[in-house]
């Protein structure tokens, strides 16, 4: 059995761009199953520790999804919202060139927080290697994450968790924290299956309606005004209220560590499906588990994006990609829930064990 301390990290790469006073980090955690795969996030608060935790989650995610990638992650410490497109391109291409010695053999990039198919195009253009990143535009033979692959996987995980909990999917009440690429597609797919998405939130607050919120209308409002809370379909509340609503499923789908020691005791959801990476620390998961909350760990629920990356890497079609996500997350959820039913152990412990078993087979 591989112990946690033996997983890695294999490389911690820290680079500095003096022109912009910007630090960048790439943690290549483990390459037992293949080159480390993980996206690049751009936030003013990203740290080396955060990138390491995310890279470790990618190691486990890729192993559990049974795809031939290792785990890695990158972060650029800057505020892209204060950059022009030209400035953002400059930073992305600086970072790509700095990582060039590791690309393909040890690391393959992808989109993450504040990066999209456009940034992945800039990345591969800088190093003149189309295979150096996934999530690229279709014109570069990519399967961009804007197709909704991560959100689709989270929706599948929620569907399976509801069935396990004997909660009918028709009319199940869901709250989604974060209305970016992941949260919007979770809303889209769950709504198509008859789920009531009663609350969504973004950086400006929470929008709530006990009768459900219409996906298409909210997307139009978001595009027109920049925030879903401006939509008249619901009541505007404080952002933190999203975690305290009496719902069947809570989907954290934005930034890390949003469920904390301060608000965990006010969480009322029966199920938490972690659309975001590391939305809470492990001791909080244990506390909520003892209260009877079913928690689907991040690297189980949000593996759709990296499964899509593998599909792109292998040249699969969009239709085949979605089918592969359904198959692989369905299998991961079945294995997790079967062991949970048998032992009632903390789901993350079970998922870690299942992933580590697959690492030892390679």
> pLDDT tens digits, residue range 228-273?
999 999 999 999 999 999 999 999 999 889 999 999 999 999 999 9
Token pair recorded at residue 239 = 């952002």
Residue 1 pLDDT > 50 = no
CB distance 24 to 98 below 8 Å: yes
Token pair recorded at residue 339 = 């062991």
Closest CA to 280 of 258, 255, 249: 258
CB atoms within 10 A of CB 84: 8
Tell me, which fold does domain 4-142 have in CATH? Rossmann fold (3.40.50)
How far is residue 262's CA from residue 92's CA, in Å, rounded to a whole number?
A: 36
CB distance 89 to 64 below 8 Å: no
Residues taking part in catalysis? 73
Residue 187 pLDDT > 50 = yes
Q: How confident is the model at residue 144 (pLDDT cuts 50, 70, 90)?
A: confident
Q: Where in the chain is the domain with CATH 3.40.50.10860?
A: 4-142
How far is residue 321's CA from residue 329's CA, in Å, rounded to a whole number?
A: 12
Closest CA to 306 of 115, 89, 60: 60
Average pLDDT estimate for 17-42: 96
Q: How confident is the model at residue 151 (pLDDT cuts 50, 70, 90)?
A: very high
Closest CA to 150 of 107, 184, 120: 184
pTM: 0.86
Tell me, which fold does domain 149-304+332-355 have in CATH? Rossmann fold (3.40.50)
How far is residue 120's CA from residue 89's CA, in Å, rounded to a whole number?
A: 10
DSSP annotation of 135: S
Task: Return all residues near 221 (Cβ < 8 A) that are at least 6 apart.
Answer: 227, 228, 230, 231
Average pLDDT estimate for 147-168: 97
Strand-pair category, 36-37 with 235-237: unpaired
Which residue is listed with tokens 């909704």?
A: 148
Token pair recorded at residue 187 = 């809303």
Q: Where in the chain is the domain with CATH 3.40.50.720?
A: 149-304+332-355
């Amino acid at each position: 059995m591989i112990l946690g301390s033996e997983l890695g990290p294999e490389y911690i790469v820290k680079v500095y761009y003096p022109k912009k006073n910007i630090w960048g980090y790439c943690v290549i955690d483990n390459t037992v199953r293949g080159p480390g795969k993980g996206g690049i996030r751009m936030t003013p608060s990203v740290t080396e520790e955060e990138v390491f935790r995310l890279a470790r989650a990618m190691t486990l995610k890729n192993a559990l999804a049974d795809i031939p990638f290792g785990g890695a992650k990158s972060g650029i410490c800057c505020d892209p919202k204060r950059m022009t497109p030209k400035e953002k391109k400059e930073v992305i291409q600086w970072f790509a060139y700095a990582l060039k010695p590791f690309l393909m053999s040890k690391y393959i990039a992808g989109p993450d927080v504040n990066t999209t198919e456009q940034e992945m195009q800039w990345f591969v253009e800088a190093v003149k290697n189309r295979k150096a990143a996934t999530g690229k535009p279709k014109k570069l033979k990519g399967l961009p994450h804007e197709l909704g692959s991560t959100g689709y996987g989270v929706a599948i995980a929620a569907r399976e968790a509801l069935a396990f909990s004997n909660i009918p999917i028709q009319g199940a009440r869901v709250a989604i924290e974060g209305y970016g690429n992941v949260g919007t597609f979770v809303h889209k797919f769950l709504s198509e299956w008859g789920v009531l998405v009663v609350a969504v939130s973004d950086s400006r607050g929470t929008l709530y309606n006990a009768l459900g919120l219409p996906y298409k209308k909210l997307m139009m409002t978001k595009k027109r005004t920049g925030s879903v809370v401006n939509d008249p379909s619901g009541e505007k509340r404080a952002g933190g209220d999203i975690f305290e609503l009496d719902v069947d499923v809570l989907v954290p789908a934005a930034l890390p560590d949003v469920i904390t020691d301060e608000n965990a005791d006010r969480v009322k959801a029966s199920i938490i499906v972690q659309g975001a990476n590391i939305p809470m620390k492990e001791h909080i998961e244990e506390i909520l588990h003892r209260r009877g909350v079913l928690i689907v760990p991040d690297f189980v629920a949000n593996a759709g994006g990296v499964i899509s990356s593998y599909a792109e890497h292998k040249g699969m079609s969009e239709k085949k990609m979605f089918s592969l996500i359904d198959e692989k997350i369905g299998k991961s959820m079945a294995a997790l829930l079967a062991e949970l039913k048998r032992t009632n152990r903390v789901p993350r412990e079970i998922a870690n064990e299942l992933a580590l078993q697959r690492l030892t087979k390679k």
